[in-house]
Amino acid sequence: MDSSATSISFIGTTIAVVNLISDSDITLNATGDITANTITANTTLSVTGSGDCSLAGAITGETMTFAITGELKDNSTAATIESGSNTSISASSFSLAQSSITATD
Query: Tens digits of per-residue pLDDT, 38-94?
Result: 999 999 999 999 999 999 999 999 999 999 999 999 887 778 989 988 889 999 998
Query: HSE on the CB side for 59, CA within 13 Å?
Result: 32
More confident residue, 97 or 62: 62
Rounded to an integer, the average pLDDT of 20-36 is: 94
> Quick check: 15 pLDDT over 80?
yes
Confidence category of residue 1, pLDDT binned at 50, 70, 90: very low
Q: What is the pLDDT of residue 2?
A: 46
Q: Hey, is 10 helix, strand or coil?
A: strand
- Identity of the amino acid at 85: S
